[in-house]
A = this chain, B = another copy of it.
Amino acid sequence: MTGYDECASLIEKKKIPFIERLRHAVEIKSVSNDPAARKEVCRMIDWTQKELEKLGTKCEQIKNGKQKLQNGEEIDLPPVLFGTLGNDKSKKTLLVYGHLDVQPADKSDGWNTDPFKLIEIDGKLYGRGSTDDKGPVMAWINAIEVMQELKMDIPINIKFVLEGMEESGSEGLDEILMKHKDSFLSDVDFTCISDNYWLGKTKPCITYGLRGICYYCVEVKVCKQDLHSGVFGGTVHDGMSDLCWILSQLTEVDGTIKINGLKEMVAPVTDEERALYEKIDFDINEYKNDIKVEKLTTEDKVKVLMNRWRFPSLSVHGVEGAFSGPGAKTVIPCKVKGKFSIRIVEGMEPEAVDKCVTDHLNNLWSQRKSPNHFSVHPLQGSLAWVADYNHPHYQAGAAAIRKVYGVEPDYTREGCSIPVTLTFQELTQKNVMLLPIGACDDMAHSQNEKINVSNYIEGTKVLAAYLMELGKL
Protein backbone atom coordinates (compact mmCIF):
# COMPACT_ATOMS: atom_id res chain seq x y z
CA MET A 1 0.00 0.00 0.00
CA THR A 2 1.19 3.43 -0.88
CA GLY A 3 2.14 5.38 2.24
CA TYR A 4 3.87 8.47 3.52
CA ASP A 5 7.27 7.67 1.99
CA GLU A 6 5.99 7.47 -1.60
CA CYS A 7 4.06 10.62 -0.98
CA ALA A 8 7.10 12.50 0.37
CA SER A 9 9.18 11.27 -2.54
CA LEU A 10 6.69 12.51 -5.15
CA ILE A 11 6.44 15.87 -3.36
CA GLU A 12 10.21 16.22 -3.72
CA LYS A 13 9.98 15.36 -7.41
CA LYS A 14 7.28 17.94 -8.00
CA LYS A 15 9.19 20.80 -6.38
CA ILE A 16 9.40 22.81 -9.62
CA PRO A 17 5.71 22.66 -10.57
CA PHE A 18 4.80 23.43 -6.94
CA ILE A 19 6.98 26.56 -7.03
CA GLU A 20 5.40 27.50 -10.38
CA ARG A 21 1.99 27.22 -8.75
CA LEU A 22 3.05 29.63 -6.01
CA ARG A 23 4.62 31.93 -8.62
CA HIS A 24 1.33 32.21 -10.43
CA ALA A 25 -0.45 33.03 -7.15
CA VAL A 26 2.06 35.72 -6.11
CA GLU A 27 1.82 37.46 -9.49
CA ILE A 28 -1.85 38.20 -8.89
CA LYS A 29 -1.85 41.52 -6.97
CA SER A 30 -4.70 40.63 -4.65
CA VAL A 31 -4.26 43.53 -2.20
CA SER A 32 -7.48 43.63 -0.21
CA ASN A 33 -7.13 47.07 1.40
CA ASP A 34 -6.87 48.81 -1.99
CA PRO A 35 -10.30 49.18 -3.60
CA ALA A 36 -8.58 49.64 -6.97
CA ALA A 37 -7.14 46.12 -6.65
CA ARG A 38 -10.49 44.48 -5.88
CA LYS A 39 -10.64 42.86 -9.32
CA GLU A 40 -7.28 41.21 -8.68
CA VAL A 41 -8.59 39.74 -5.44
CA CYS A 42 -11.51 38.25 -7.40
CA ARG A 43 -9.14 37.01 -10.09
CA MET A 44 -7.09 35.25 -7.39
CA ILE A 45 -10.24 33.58 -6.09
CA ASP A 46 -11.27 32.47 -9.61
CA TRP A 47 -7.84 31.03 -10.30
CA THR A 48 -7.74 29.14 -7.00
CA GLN A 49 -11.20 27.74 -7.67
CA LYS A 50 -9.92 26.29 -10.94
CA GLU A 51 -6.95 24.71 -9.16
CA LEU A 52 -9.28 23.13 -6.58
CA GLU A 53 -11.68 21.94 -9.28
CA LYS A 54 -8.81 20.08 -10.99
CA LEU A 55 -8.64 18.01 -7.77
CA GLY A 56 -12.34 17.25 -8.01
CA THR A 57 -13.39 19.81 -5.43
CA LYS A 58 -16.94 21.08 -5.81
CA CYS A 59 -16.63 24.86 -5.51
CA GLU A 60 -19.05 27.64 -4.89
CA GLN A 61 -18.36 31.37 -4.66
CA ILE A 62 -20.51 32.78 -1.87
CA LYS A 63 -21.54 36.33 -2.66
CA ASN A 64 -20.37 38.77 -0.04
CA GLY A 65 -21.86 42.17 0.88
CA LYS A 66 -20.78 45.70 0.06
CA GLN A 67 -17.80 47.58 1.38
CA LYS A 68 -18.37 51.21 2.25
CA LEU A 69 -15.30 53.23 1.32
CA GLN A 70 -14.16 56.32 3.23
CA ASN A 71 -15.42 58.53 0.40
CA GLY A 72 -18.91 57.12 0.87
CA GLU A 73 -18.76 54.99 -2.28
CA GLU A 74 -19.81 51.33 -2.02
CA ILE A 75 -18.05 48.48 -3.80
CA ASP A 76 -18.55 44.72 -3.80
CA LEU A 77 -16.61 42.69 -1.28
CA PRO A 78 -14.89 39.72 -2.90
CA PRO A 79 -16.83 36.45 -2.68
CA VAL A 80 -15.81 33.69 -0.26
CA LEU A 81 -14.77 30.44 -1.89
CA PHE A 82 -16.35 27.29 -0.43
CA GLY A 83 -15.02 23.93 -1.63
CA THR A 84 -16.01 20.32 -0.85
CA LEU A 85 -13.71 17.41 -1.64
CA GLY A 86 -15.17 14.05 -0.65
CA ASN A 87 -18.57 13.37 0.81
CA ASP A 88 -18.13 9.95 2.42
CA LYS A 89 -20.49 9.68 5.42
CA SER A 90 -18.15 7.10 6.99
CA LYS A 91 -15.32 9.64 7.11
CA LYS A 92 -14.82 12.59 9.37
CA THR A 93 -14.68 16.07 7.87
CA LEU A 94 -11.79 18.52 8.04
CA LEU A 95 -12.28 22.21 7.38
CA VAL A 96 -9.29 24.00 5.83
CA TYR A 97 -9.21 27.78 5.98
CA GLY A 98 -6.84 30.08 4.10
CA HIS A 99 -6.81 33.53 2.58
CA LEU A 100 -5.99 34.63 -0.93
CA ASP A 101 -5.54 38.35 -0.37
CA VAL A 102 -2.30 40.06 0.65
CA GLN A 103 -1.00 43.17 2.39
CA PRO A 104 -0.04 46.15 0.20
CA ALA A 105 3.52 46.15 -1.16
CA ASP A 106 5.52 48.43 -3.37
CA LYS A 107 9.15 48.17 -4.42
CA SER A 108 9.67 51.72 -3.16
CA ASP A 109 8.81 50.57 0.39
CA GLY A 110 12.25 48.98 0.47
CA TRP A 111 11.80 45.65 -1.29
CA ASN A 112 14.94 44.25 -2.93
CA THR A 113 12.84 42.68 -5.68
CA ASP A 114 9.46 43.27 -7.32
CA PRO A 115 7.04 42.20 -4.54
CA PHE A 116 4.61 40.72 -7.07
CA LYS A 117 7.13 38.41 -8.72
CA LEU A 118 8.27 35.21 -6.99
CA ILE A 119 12.07 35.43 -6.95
CA GLU A 120 14.20 32.54 -5.62
CA ILE A 121 17.42 33.59 -3.91
CA ASP A 122 19.46 31.15 -1.79
CA GLY A 123 16.59 28.73 -1.23
CA LYS A 124 14.15 31.49 -0.33
CA LEU A 125 11.11 32.43 -2.40
CA TYR A 126 10.57 36.20 -2.12
CA GLY A 127 7.23 37.81 -2.96
CA ARG A 128 4.15 39.34 -1.32
CA GLY A 129 1.91 36.53 -0.10
CA SER A 130 4.61 33.86 -0.47
CA THR A 131 4.16 32.94 3.20
CA ASP A 132 1.02 34.94 4.12
CA ASP A 133 -1.00 33.10 2.99
CA LYS A 134 -0.67 31.97 -0.62
CA GLY A 135 2.20 29.54 0.10
CA PRO A 136 0.25 27.52 2.69
CA VAL A 137 -2.91 27.47 0.51
CA MET A 138 -0.85 26.16 -2.42
CA ALA A 139 0.71 23.55 -0.08
CA TRP A 140 -2.78 22.15 0.59
CA ILE A 141 -3.41 21.88 -3.14
CA ASN A 142 0.03 20.29 -3.64
CA ALA A 143 -0.53 17.72 -0.87
CA ILE A 144 -3.91 16.63 -2.18
CA GLU A 145 -2.69 16.55 -5.79
CA VAL A 146 0.16 14.20 -4.82
CA MET A 147 -2.07 11.85 -2.83
CA GLN A 148 -4.46 11.70 -5.79
CA GLU A 149 -1.64 11.08 -8.28
CA LEU A 150 -0.52 8.17 -6.10
CA LYS A 151 -4.15 6.99 -6.00
CA MET A 152 -4.02 7.09 -2.20
CA ASP A 153 -7.20 7.17 -0.21
CA ILE A 154 -7.72 10.53 1.46
CA PRO A 155 -9.19 9.27 4.73
CA ILE A 156 -11.19 12.37 5.47
CA ASN A 157 -13.66 14.67 3.70
CA ILE A 158 -12.17 18.10 3.16
CA LYS A 159 -14.00 21.41 3.08
CA PHE A 160 -12.34 24.64 2.10
CA VAL A 161 -13.14 28.17 3.16
CA LEU A 162 -10.88 30.59 1.28
CA GLU A 163 -11.43 34.31 1.59
CA GLY A 164 -10.12 37.51 0.02
CA MET A 165 -10.41 40.09 2.81
CA GLU A 166 -8.31 38.66 5.64
CA GLU A 167 -5.77 41.50 5.57
CA SER A 168 -8.66 43.96 5.86
CA GLY A 169 -10.48 42.51 8.83
CA SER A 170 -12.14 39.58 6.99
CA GLU A 171 -15.04 41.88 6.18
CA GLY A 172 -18.24 39.95 5.54
CA LEU A 173 -16.79 36.51 6.34
CA ASP A 174 -18.34 36.03 9.77
CA GLU A 175 -21.81 36.82 8.43
CA ILE A 176 -21.37 34.28 5.62
CA LEU A 177 -20.06 31.60 7.97
CA MET A 178 -22.88 32.22 10.44
CA LYS A 179 -25.42 31.79 7.65
CA HIS A 180 -23.81 28.41 6.79
CA LYS A 181 -23.53 27.18 10.39
CA ASP A 182 -26.23 24.57 9.90
CA SER A 183 -25.41 23.66 6.31
CA PHE A 184 -21.85 23.82 4.99
CA LEU A 185 -20.30 23.91 8.47
CA SER A 186 -22.68 21.47 10.21
CA ASP A 187 -20.61 18.30 9.73
CA VAL A 188 -17.12 19.73 10.37
CA ASP A 189 -15.13 17.68 12.89
CA PHE A 190 -11.84 19.63 12.94
CA THR A 191 -10.58 22.89 11.55
CA CYS A 192 -7.00 23.42 10.44
CA ILE A 193 -5.56 26.82 9.60
CA SER A 194 -2.09 27.41 8.18
CA ASP A 195 -1.79 31.16 8.46
CA ASN A 196 0.94 31.68 11.01
CA TYR A 197 4.65 30.94 11.47
CA TRP A 198 7.07 28.86 13.42
CA LEU A 199 8.47 30.50 16.50
CA GLY A 200 11.98 30.05 15.18
CA LYS A 201 13.66 29.20 11.92
CA THR A 202 14.34 25.49 12.34
CA LYS A 203 11.88 23.90 14.76
CA PRO A 204 8.27 23.30 13.76
CA CYS A 205 5.46 24.12 16.13
CA ILE A 206 1.71 23.88 16.57
CA THR A 207 -0.18 26.93 17.74
CA TYR A 208 -3.02 26.90 20.26
CA GLY A 209 -3.51 30.60 21.04
CA LEU A 210 -3.83 33.98 19.35
CA ARG A 211 -4.18 37.52 20.56
CA GLY A 212 -7.15 39.54 19.41
CA ILE A 213 -7.00 43.10 18.20
CA CYS A 214 -8.77 46.41 18.71
CA TYR A 215 -7.84 48.99 16.06
CA TYR A 216 -8.46 52.72 16.50
CA CYS A 217 -8.48 55.85 14.42
CA VAL A 218 -8.17 59.14 16.31
CA GLU A 219 -9.11 62.20 14.29
CA VAL A 220 -8.14 65.83 14.90
CA LYS A 221 -9.77 68.38 12.62
CA VAL A 222 -8.39 71.90 12.42
CA CYS A 223 -10.15 73.64 9.55
CA LYS A 224 -11.78 73.01 6.22
CA GLN A 225 -8.67 72.49 4.10
CA ASP A 226 -4.91 72.23 4.27
CA LEU A 227 -3.18 75.55 5.02
CA HIS A 228 0.20 77.03 4.04
CA SER A 229 2.25 77.04 7.22
CA GLY A 230 3.88 80.34 6.28
CA VAL A 231 0.61 82.14 5.70
CA PHE A 232 -1.41 80.66 8.58
CA GLY A 233 1.23 79.27 10.98
CA GLY A 234 0.94 80.88 14.41
CA THR A 235 -2.76 81.65 14.20
CA VAL A 236 -4.41 78.21 14.10
CA HIS A 237 -3.98 75.42 16.64
CA ASP A 238 -1.64 72.83 15.13
CA GLY A 239 -3.57 69.59 14.63
CA MET A 240 -0.50 67.40 14.25
CA SER A 241 0.83 68.65 17.60
CA ASP A 242 -2.50 67.76 19.21
CA LEU A 243 -2.52 64.34 17.60
CA CYS A 244 1.12 63.59 18.45
CA TRP A 245 0.47 64.53 22.06
CA ILE A 246 -2.53 62.20 22.26
CA LEU A 247 -0.62 59.34 20.60
CA SER A 248 2.31 59.87 22.96
CA GLN A 249 0.06 59.41 26.02
CA LEU A 250 -0.92 55.80 25.32
CA THR A 251 2.17 53.91 26.50
CA GLU A 252 5.27 54.24 28.62
CA VAL A 253 8.59 54.15 26.79
CA ASP A 254 8.91 50.41 27.51
CA GLY A 255 5.51 49.75 25.95
CA THR A 256 3.49 49.50 29.17
CA ILE A 257 -0.03 50.56 28.29
CA LYS A 258 -1.22 53.63 30.23
CA ILE A 259 -4.93 53.16 29.50
CA ASN A 260 -6.86 52.66 32.75
CA GLY A 261 -8.79 49.44 33.16
CA LEU A 262 -7.03 47.28 30.59
CA LYS A 263 -4.48 45.58 32.87
CA GLU A 264 -7.25 44.43 35.23
CA MET A 265 -8.99 42.55 32.42
CA VAL A 266 -6.04 40.27 31.59
CA ALA A 267 -6.51 36.66 32.78
CA PRO A 268 -3.80 35.80 35.36
CA VAL A 269 -0.92 33.58 34.25
CA THR A 270 -1.03 30.15 35.94
CA ASP A 271 2.01 28.21 37.17
CA GLU A 272 1.28 25.45 34.65
CA GLU A 273 1.28 28.04 31.90
CA ARG A 274 4.57 29.52 33.02
CA ALA A 275 6.13 26.03 33.05
CA LEU A 276 4.99 25.50 29.44
CA TYR A 277 6.68 28.75 28.39
CA GLU A 278 9.91 27.80 30.11
CA LYS A 279 10.21 24.65 27.96
CA ILE A 280 9.90 26.48 24.64
CA ASP A 281 12.95 26.57 22.38
CA PHE A 282 13.47 30.29 21.81
CA ASP A 283 16.69 32.26 21.49
CA ILE A 284 16.32 35.94 22.40
CA ASN A 285 19.61 36.89 20.79
CA GLU A 286 18.65 35.32 17.50
CA TYR A 287 15.30 37.12 17.67
CA LYS A 288 17.04 40.43 18.29
CA ASN A 289 19.58 39.82 15.58
CA ASP A 290 16.91 38.91 13.01
CA ILE A 291 15.17 42.23 13.38
CA LYS A 292 18.35 44.16 14.22
CA VAL A 293 17.13 45.50 17.53
CA GLU A 294 19.72 46.04 20.26
CA LYS A 295 17.43 46.08 23.27
CA LEU A 296 13.98 44.57 23.78
CA THR A 297 11.37 45.73 26.26
CA THR A 298 12.51 42.80 28.41
CA GLU A 299 15.45 40.39 28.08
CA ASP A 300 13.88 37.42 29.91
CA LYS A 301 12.82 34.54 27.62
CA VAL A 302 9.47 33.83 29.27
CA LYS A 303 8.65 37.54 29.52
CA VAL A 304 9.54 38.15 25.86
CA LEU A 305 7.27 35.28 24.80
CA MET A 306 4.48 36.46 27.10
CA ASN A 307 4.84 40.04 25.78
CA ARG A 308 4.35 38.61 22.30
CA TRP A 309 1.46 36.24 23.10
CA ARG A 310 0.06 36.51 26.57
CA PHE A 311 -0.11 40.23 27.35
CA PRO A 312 -1.66 43.14 25.46
CA SER A 313 0.57 45.43 23.43
CA LEU A 314 -0.08 48.77 21.77
CA SER A 315 1.47 49.93 18.48
CA VAL A 316 1.12 53.32 16.79
CA HIS A 317 0.95 52.60 13.08
CA GLY A 318 0.91 56.02 11.45
CA VAL A 319 -0.95 59.16 10.49
CA GLU A 320 -3.36 59.64 7.60
CA GLY A 321 -3.93 63.09 6.15
CA ALA A 322 -0.58 64.66 7.02
CA PHE A 323 2.43 65.10 4.74
CA SER A 324 3.96 61.64 4.33
CA GLY A 325 6.27 61.96 1.33
CA PRO A 326 10.00 62.54 1.16
CA GLY A 327 11.38 66.08 1.24
CA ALA A 328 9.95 69.20 2.82
CA LYS A 329 6.33 70.26 2.34
CA THR A 330 5.17 73.30 4.31
CA VAL A 331 1.60 72.30 5.01
CA ILE A 332 -0.66 72.57 8.04
CA PRO A 333 -2.86 69.51 7.46
CA CYS A 334 -6.54 70.32 7.97
CA LYS A 335 -7.48 66.88 9.30
CA VAL A 336 -5.17 64.19 10.63
CA LYS A 337 -6.03 60.66 11.65
CA GLY A 338 -3.77 58.74 14.00
CA LYS A 339 -3.92 54.96 13.72
CA PHE A 340 -3.06 52.63 16.58
CA SER A 341 -4.06 49.18 17.73
CA ILE A 342 -4.03 47.11 20.87
CA ARG A 343 -3.36 43.38 20.74
CA ILE A 344 -5.74 41.89 23.30
CA VAL A 345 -5.62 38.60 25.24
CA GLU A 346 -7.96 36.25 27.06
CA GLY A 347 -10.13 38.16 29.50
CA MET A 348 -10.33 41.28 27.31
CA GLU A 349 -13.62 41.88 25.49
CA PRO A 350 -13.33 44.28 22.51
CA GLU A 351 -16.39 46.28 23.61
CA ALA A 352 -14.93 46.78 27.09
CA VAL A 353 -11.53 47.66 25.60
CA ASP A 354 -13.19 50.16 23.25
CA LYS A 355 -14.83 51.81 26.23
CA CYS A 356 -11.59 52.10 28.21
CA VAL A 357 -9.72 53.44 25.16
CA THR A 358 -12.43 55.93 24.24
CA ASP A 359 -12.72 57.15 27.83
CA HIS A 360 -8.94 57.51 28.09
CA LEU A 361 -8.70 59.43 24.81
CA ASN A 362 -11.63 61.70 25.57
CA ASN A 363 -10.20 62.37 29.00
CA LEU A 364 -6.81 63.22 27.48
CA TRP A 365 -8.51 65.50 24.97
CA SER A 366 -10.37 67.37 27.68
CA GLN A 367 -7.00 67.97 29.40
CA ARG A 368 -5.51 69.21 26.13
CA LYS A 369 -7.80 72.25 25.92
CA SER A 370 -7.40 72.57 22.17
CA PRO A 371 -10.25 74.14 20.19
CA ASN A 372 -9.70 71.66 17.36
CA HIS A 373 -12.28 68.92 16.81
CA PHE A 374 -11.51 65.48 18.17
CA SER A 375 -13.12 62.10 17.64
CA VAL A 376 -12.28 58.45 18.26
CA HIS A 377 -13.29 55.70 15.86
CA PRO A 378 -12.83 52.01 16.77
CA LEU A 379 -12.20 50.42 13.35
CA GLN A 380 -12.24 46.74 14.24
CA GLY A 381 -12.22 44.43 17.23
CA SER A 382 -11.69 40.72 17.64
CA LEU A 383 -11.32 38.46 20.66
CA ALA A 384 -8.27 36.44 21.58
CA TRP A 385 -8.44 32.66 21.09
CA VAL A 386 -7.04 29.75 23.12
CA ALA A 387 -7.53 26.02 22.36
CA ASP A 388 -6.78 22.75 24.18
CA TYR A 389 -3.49 21.47 22.79
CA ASN A 390 -3.99 18.06 24.45
CA HIS A 391 -6.87 17.34 22.05
CA PRO A 392 -6.38 14.28 19.71
CA HIS A 393 -6.58 16.64 16.74
CA TYR A 394 -3.43 18.38 17.99
CA GLN A 395 -1.83 14.97 18.47
CA ALA A 396 -2.51 14.17 14.79
CA GLY A 397 -0.74 17.38 13.83
CA ALA A 398 2.16 16.54 16.15
CA ALA A 399 2.45 13.03 14.66
CA ALA A 400 2.62 14.49 11.14
CA ILE A 401 5.41 16.84 12.22
CA ARG A 402 7.32 13.99 13.87
CA LYS A 403 7.04 12.03 10.61
CA VAL A 404 8.43 14.85 8.42
CA TYR A 405 10.87 16.55 10.79
CA GLY A 406 11.61 13.83 13.35
CA VAL A 407 11.01 16.17 16.29
CA GLU A 408 8.26 16.92 18.77
CA PRO A 409 6.80 20.34 17.93
CA ASP A 410 6.75 23.21 20.40
CA TYR A 411 3.27 24.26 21.49
CA THR A 412 3.12 27.97 20.89
CA ARG A 413 0.82 30.92 20.62
CA GLU A 414 0.89 33.84 18.19
CA GLY A 415 0.72 37.50 19.05
CA CYS A 416 -1.30 38.35 15.99
CA SER A 417 -4.97 37.95 15.33
CA ILE A 418 -6.70 35.53 12.98
CA PRO A 419 -10.28 36.33 13.95
CA VAL A 420 -11.75 33.52 11.88
CA THR A 421 -10.11 30.97 14.20
CA LEU A 422 -12.53 31.93 16.93
CA THR A 423 -15.46 32.01 14.50
CA PHE A 424 -14.78 28.43 13.39
CA GLN A 425 -14.48 27.26 16.99
CA GLU A 426 -17.74 28.94 17.93
CA LEU A 427 -19.73 27.85 14.88
CA THR A 428 -18.50 24.24 14.68
CA GLN A 429 -18.02 23.75 18.44
CA LYS A 430 -15.09 21.56 17.45
CA ASN A 431 -11.35 21.75 17.91
CA VAL A 432 -9.41 24.25 15.81
CA MET A 433 -5.66 23.95 15.25
CA LEU A 434 -3.11 26.28 13.72
CA LEU A 435 -0.48 24.37 11.78
CA PRO A 436 2.18 26.82 10.63
CA ILE A 437 4.33 26.13 7.57
CA GLY A 438 6.53 29.25 7.27
CA ALA A 439 9.45 30.26 9.48
CA CYS A 440 9.64 33.15 11.96
CA ASP A 441 11.78 35.28 9.64
CA ASP A 442 9.37 35.18 6.70
CA MET A 443 8.49 38.86 7.28
CA ALA A 444 4.76 38.68 6.62
CA HIS A 445 3.28 42.21 6.24
CA SER A 446 6.79 43.59 5.76
CA GLN A 447 9.29 44.25 2.99
CA ASN A 448 10.94 41.20 1.42
CA GLU A 449 8.33 38.68 2.55
CA LYS A 450 9.48 35.15 1.69
CA ILE A 451 8.93 31.47 2.31
CA ASN A 452 11.83 29.04 2.35
CA VAL A 453 11.69 26.45 -0.43
CA SER A 454 12.26 23.83 2.29
CA ASN A 455 9.35 25.07 4.41
CA TYR A 456 7.08 25.11 1.38
CA ILE A 457 8.02 21.58 0.34
CA GLU A 458 8.29 20.01 3.83
CA GLY A 459 5.10 21.85 4.74
CA THR A 460 3.36 20.12 1.83
CA LYS A 461 4.60 16.81 3.29
CA VAL A 462 3.32 17.74 6.77
CA LEU A 463 -0.13 18.44 5.35
CA ALA A 464 -0.17 15.10 3.50
CA ALA A 465 1.00 13.26 6.64
CA TYR A 466 -1.61 15.12 8.71
CA LEU A 467 -4.38 14.04 6.31
CA MET A 468 -3.21 10.44 6.75
CA GLU A 469 -3.10 10.80 10.56
CA LEU A 470 -6.64 12.21 10.61
CA GLY A 471 -7.84 8.88 9.21
CA LYS A 472 -6.80 7.25 12.48
CA LEU A 473 -9.02 9.42 14.69
Contact = CB atoms under 8 A, between A and B. Distances in A.
B250 A237 contact: no
B318 A229 contact: no
Interface in A311-344: 311-320, 322-333, 338-339, 341, 343
A230 interface: yes
A395 interface: no
Interface of A: 33, 69-70, 103-104, 109-110, 168-169, 197, 211, 213, 215, 217, 222-238, 240-245, 247-248, 250-251, 253-255, 287, 291-298, 304, 307-308, 311-320, 322-333, 338-339, 341, 343, 368-371, 379-380, 414-417, 443-448
A296 B236 contact: yes
A371 B292 CA distance: 12
Contacts of A325: 33, 104, 320
A227 B291 contact: yes
Chain B CB count within 10 A is highest, among A211, A232, A343, A417, for A232
A210 to B, nearest CB: 8
Contacts of A338: 244
Nearest to A245: B248
Given A234-B415, A241-B316, A343-B233, A294 B328 contact: no
A238 B314 contact: yes
A231 B33 contact: no
A395 to B, nearest CB: 26
Contacts of A293: 222-223, 236, 371
Contacts of A236: 291, 293, 296-297
Nearest to A197: B231
Nearest to A110: B225
A100 B244 CA distance: 35
Contacts of A445: 226-228, 329-331
5 contacts: A230-B416, A237-B295, A244-B244, A316-B322, A329-B445
Given A110-B225, A222-B293, A242 B234 contact: no
Given A318-B323, A328-B380, 15 more contacts: A33-B327, A225-B448, A228-B416, A228-B446, A233-B315, A233-B415, A234-B307, A237-B253, A238-B314, A241-B247, A241-B251, A244-B248, A295-B371, A319-B324, A324-B324
B414 A317 contact: no
Number of copies: 2
A50 to B, nearest CB: 30
B244 A316 contact: yes
B254 A237 contact: yes
A253 B443 CA distance: 40
A415 B308 CA distance: 49
Given A235-B296, A255-B234, A444-B231, A291 B240 contact: no
A315 B368 contact: no
B233 A318 contact: no
A38 to B, nearest CB: 13
B314 A331 contact: no
Q: Can you list the 6 inter-chain pairs with the closest CB atoms, starting with the nearest?
A: A230-B416, A234-B313, A318-B322, A318-B323, A240-B316, A324-B324
A437 to B, nearest CB: 15
A379 B327 CA distance: 8
A227 B104 contact: no
B70 A233 contact: no
A107 to B, nearest CB: 11
A343 B234 contact: yes
B319 A234 contact: no
Contact of A231 (B104, B227, B414): B414
Nearest to A108: B71
A238 B342 CA distance: 12
Given A255-B237, A318-B324, A341 B333 contact: no
B320 A341 contact: no
A296 B308 CA distance: 45
A414 B444 CA distance: 49
B253 A304 contact: no
A414 B322 CA distance: 24
Given A248-B248, A307-B235, A371 B168 contact: no
Contact of A292 (B224, B226, B237, B244): B224
